[in-house]
Amino acid sequence: MAGPVIQVDRLCTRFGDVVVHQDLDLTVQQGEILSLVGGSGSGKTTLLRQILGLERPASGNVRVFGEDINRLVGQRRRQLRARWGMLFQHGALFSALTAFDNVAQPMRELHRLPEDLIRDSVLLKLSMVGISPADALKMPADLSGGMVKRVALARALALEPELLFLDEPTAGLDPDLSDSFVELIAGLHRQLKLTVVMVTHDLDTLFALSTRIAVLAEKRVIAADTPERIVALPHPFVERFFLGGRGLRAMEVLREKRMEHDHGK
């Protein structure tokens, strides 16, 4: 059996005297949608950056697809990076490039592919996220916020990754756009058999997508389990985060989703 997609062991992170992570462990298995939640400053973004190899922890191990991310250099590091896509929360697109060229950019950077192949592949990725060939020629400033997110998602999928990172994927979208973006991610996850790691504060997004939720508190992952088990945890952060009015509404969505799923069987 293949090992985990991501394995973080005894990770410690310090900025000066501030200890952000202490002996943090986290495992992500193939095919999961794992969401990271935690209070502001609990170290979610830092952890994501360490998994991506953009920051080095003070100590501990980060393995992605079985490779120690901090020991890889050169070509092998680039090859590993081509196996994941990342949707950043801000600054998702290059403003000076069309939607088409934004999606083509990772392909042009990593492969020496002929332009006609790139063209077909870009248009395919854009159609997967619901962007027409006419809109592909527009500049980001001429696209709506929802369309920019879709193009950014197409770019994250450009190299046909097995693993997708999403940082606050629905932040800044109104509820309808947010729902349709969530459906898009769910569809792509099924269709492309992706493993997804997501950071989100949005409970609707969290419950609609997550197969597991990892809770960052007390400098480590205190629990990583199904949404139902996580909301039942007797922990002050969990109670604050999930059990307000927003949380109860999102739980209702989760129940409906499970019922639809059970009826669909």
Choose which of 17, 40, 91, 134 interacts with ligand ATP (CB under 6 A). Answer: 40
Q: Which stretch binds ligand ATP (CB under 6 A): 34-42, 126-134, 146-154, 254-262?
A: 34-42
Q: Which stretch binds ligand ATP (CB under 6 A): 1-9, 42-50, 94-102, 153-161?
A: 42-50
Minimum separation from the CB atom of position 49 to ligand ATP (A): 8
Which residue, 19 or 137, is less far from ligand ATP as judged by CB?
19
Whole-angstrom Cα distance, residue 7 to residue 26? 6
20: contact with ligand ATP by CB under 6 A: yes
Q: Which stretch binds ligand ATP (CB under 6 A): 39-47, 72-80, 122-130, 246-254?
A: 39-47
User: DSSP of 89-129, one letter per residue?
Assistant: SS--S-TTS-HHHHHHHHHHHH----HHHHHHHHHHHHHHT
Q: Which stretch binds ligand ATP (CB under 6 A): 35-43, 91-99, 105-113, 230-238?
A: 35-43
106: contact with ligand ATP by CB under 6 A: no
27: contact with ligand ATP by CB under 6 A: no
205: contact with ligand ATP by CB under 6 A: no
41: contact with ligand ATP by CB under 6 A: yes
CA distances from 261 to 133, 258, 264 (A): 34, 5, 5
Minimum separation from the CB atom of position 36 to ligand ATP (A): 8
Choose which of 3, 9, 14, 15 interacts with ligand ATP (CB under 6 A). Answer: 15
Minimum separation from the CB atom of position 16 to ligand ATP (A): 7
Q: What is the dihedral of CA 167, 205, 183, 230, to 10 degrees?
A: 110
Name the residue among 60, 56, 53 with its Cα closest to residue 77.
Answer: 53
Q: Which stretch binds ligand ATP (CB under 6 A): 37-45, 92-100, 135-143, 235-243?
A: 37-45
Minimum separation from the CB atom of position 132 to ligand ATP (A): 34
| Strands, E assignment, 173-211 | 195-199
Q: Which letter does DSSP use for residue 256 in this model?
A: H
- Checking DSSP bridges between strand 195-199 and strand 6-15, what pairing results, if any? unpaired
> Tokens 């991610």 map to which residue?
185
Instruction: Judge whether 5 and 28 are in contact, CB under 8 Å.
Output: yes
For residues 2-27, b (16+ Cβ closer than 10 Å) or e, as one string? eebbbbbeebbbeeeeeebbeebebb
Encoded amino acid at 209, one letter: L
Instruction: Judge whether 219 and 20 are in contact, CB under 8 Å.
Output: yes
Which residue, 18 or 141, is less far from ligand ATP as judged by CB?
18
Q: Which stretch binds ligand ATP (CB under 6 A): 33-41, 152-160, 237-245, 257-265?
A: 33-41
Whole-angstrom Cα distance, residue 193 to residue 162? 7
42: contact with ligand ATP by CB under 6 A: yes
- Contacts to ligand ATP by CB under 6 A: 15, 18, 20, 38, 40-46
